[in-house]
Chain A
Amino acid sequence: MSTATLLRIALLIALVVAFALWNPAFISGRNIYALTQSFALLGLVALGLSLTMIAGEFDLSVGSMVAVGGLLTLVAGGSNLVHGMGVALAFAVVIGAANAFVVNRFNVSSLVVTVGSMMALSGFAFWLAGGKVISTDNFDLGFALDNPILTVLSWRGAITLAAFLLAGLFMRHTLMGRDIRVIGSKRLVAAASGAKVGLSLYIVFIVSALCAALAGSLLSMSLASAAATTGNNLMLQAVSAAIVGGVALSGGAGSPLHVLIGSLILTVMNNGLSLMGMGATGILFANGLVLMGIVLLDGQLGAWMSERFAASRARHSA
């Protein structure tokens, strides 16, 4: 494990200890449950988005996809929400593939392509919602998903954790996972050496859209309602989680484990600050500070510490 990852784990532990000392309620089962509920939403979106970042691309449309995923689940699902979820996920595959097709076929920057799909999806969400909040009286599935399992986790949280596990195994142990990382850092070299650039792009964009739609779908079941404005801030939070976790904007660096740590750092901080009575704006401010701090740490302290480790290792081996 790299120095940067260790630093992040240390930060996460320090945050947990500090909040627990300040208010023991922080580590109560119910509060950890509240924390994992927030993580269930943010983590899933951040996971999908970070895969595109690792591949050297970017999916700005995840926030709108969360809204569309939630709305499709209720609108297309009617009384059968599982059916609605199927429609939402199928729709996400189409959008993810369309994003990948344009990026790959026409060699357009994914930032531009996904700004387009973000706006189109947002328009679609407003059309689906018809200017209202769509709600359902079918609470059962939502309650089942939010029911605590092992006190601190709900099925919604467990699904997000399972997604991290699957993505982690995929990125670490498959050839395609390695291709995705390589095309993120040196695409031409990767293509020349036989990495499947096109297929990798399809996979990351489809997974990104799927994760966002799944997050939106599960959220709409949990809230028994969906609105076109849901997920407005989620894209930025998800980018923050990925960067805090150590995924590079330039691509090629990071892994699902890193995103897991980044998402946890943000959710722990948000939950702890909220417990301290800080409002949404204060928490946003704190998020910004941590993001900037982490970036600086990566640039300066990280490099300095790596050098020190290298020097000390060299001394020991000499």
Chain B
Amino acid sequence: MNTAKLTKLALMASVFTGLAMPGMAFAGAKGSKVILLTVSEECEYCALHQRAFKEVASAAGIDLDVKITNFDAAEQASQVDQALAQNPAAIVLWPADASAIVPSLRKINQAGIPLVITNSKPDDKYADYWNVFTGPSDIGNGQSAGEAMIKGFAEKKFGTEGKIFIVEGVPGTPPQIARSKGLEEVLAEKAKGIVVAGKQNGNWDQTKATDAAAALFTQVGPEVKGVYAQADNMMSGVIVAAKRAGIDPASLVLVGSNCSIEGVNQIKDGTQYATVLQSPIDDGKYAAKAVIDLLDGKKVEKEIFLPHEIITKANISDCDAAIGR
């Protein structure tokens, strides 16, 4: 093949790539400059996410630059401006706030820089602004919690009927809405007899969750058979409230979420039945893998969700491994 033909082929290839993602050129991951804009290094989840991302990116030979805010949307907007000034091959972004990031996403899109959103997905109506989203699916997380609840009912010989209640996160936040929705969908489909008899907000906070659970134990009464807390730390509050109400937490089907240290300890000592795994390590790895594939010109799905494995006493070691303990 002569040079002219090669050039023609290369041109055609670039046209096709251009059709796939208008205005974007993919240079190959090795040696490419990628900027990761992330939210914090203080929270354990964030730190593990960042470490996993760095490991995978470094193995692929990416020239990585990390910018960290402290969940400050204004600062992140100015970091996006700065990132654009550095003209990277791609940007990976964990939004400090899924609403406030939208104008910055448009800027990145206008600059023609490939973008991977990690962990927190902004509203889908702006989906044109990013190439790939990787991270947890809160619906999926709630669905797994629903499966765990059904499994727990069977194991504790409750059959497929009984009342449960939910302790939710901050009202109006996507995980609060979607996790409950996921759980209720699965129950409606597979175990109509398990009824959500009450819901209150624990605001992702253990103390607040204790108060919420205390009120719900009173409201629903002694026939409550299970509790879904949307995060394991809130489940600690539920357990305190159950003990105060004279109920043995081990007799209930307690399903938490996130596989955090509180949940692991509670499952190991038998007070909590299950939790839903959301691995920060996978979260970081998925984002890194997506940006590498994107730069290598491979076809990448628009949305890549983390698996949400159900963790009980039987497979608690999966949880430890996923958290990196």
- Please give the residue numbers on chain A whose beta carbons come within 8 Å of chain B beta carbons, in ascending order: 25, 28-31, 33-35, 37-38, 41, 130-133, 135, 139, 142-143, 146, 219, 222-225, 227, 230, 232-233, 271, 274-275, 277, 279-281
Contact = CB atoms under 8 A, between A and B. Distances in A.
A266 B171 CA distance: 37
9 contacts: A31-B86, A38-B75, A130-B172, A135-B100, A219-B74, A224-B102, A230-B74, A233-B72, A274-B82
Contacts of B65: 277
A37 B81 contact: yes
B69 A271 contact: no
Contacts of B106: 139, 143
A219 to B, nearest CB: 6
Interface string B87-107: 000000000011110110010
B77 A131 contact: no
B188 interface: no
B34 to A, nearest CB: 13
Given A280-B40, A280-B70, 6 more contacts: A34-B84, A133-B100, A223-B77, A223-B99, A224-B99, A279-B66
Contacts of B102: 135, 139, 224-225
Nearest to B81: A34
A313 to B, nearest CB: 44
Contacts of B43: none
Contacts of B73: 223, 225, 227, 230
B81 to A, nearest CB: 3
A37 B75 CA distance: 10
A135 B171 contact: no
B85 interface: yes
Interface in B10-42: 40-42
Contacts of B100: 133, 135, 223-225, 227
Contacts of B75: 38, 280
A31 B97 CA distance: 23
A223 B103 contact: yes
A225 B82 contact: no
A271 B82 contact: yes
A83 to B, nearest CB: 20
Contacts of A227: 73, 97, 100
Interface residues of B, number: 32
B97 A225 contact: yes
Contact of B170 (A131, A271, A279): A131
Contacts of B98: 133
A222 B86 contact: no
B92 to A, nearest CB: 15
Interface string B157-174: 000000000000011110
Contacts of B206: none
Nearest to A267: B78
Ordered nearest first, which 8 A-B pairs have the shortest CB separation? Answer: A30-B85, A34-B81, A135-B99, A279-B68, A31-B85, A223-B100, A34-B82, A225-B99
Contacts of A31: 82, 85-86
Contact of A222 (B42, B68, B77, B79): B77
Nearest to A278: B68
B66 A277 contact: yes
B171 A222 contact: no
Contacts of A232: 72
A28 B82 CA distance: 10
A130 to B, nearest CB: 8
A280 B39 CA distance: 9
Contacts of A271: 78, 82
Interface centre among B73, B75, B82, B170 (most CB of A within 10 A): B82
A132 B171 CA distance: 8
B289 interface: no
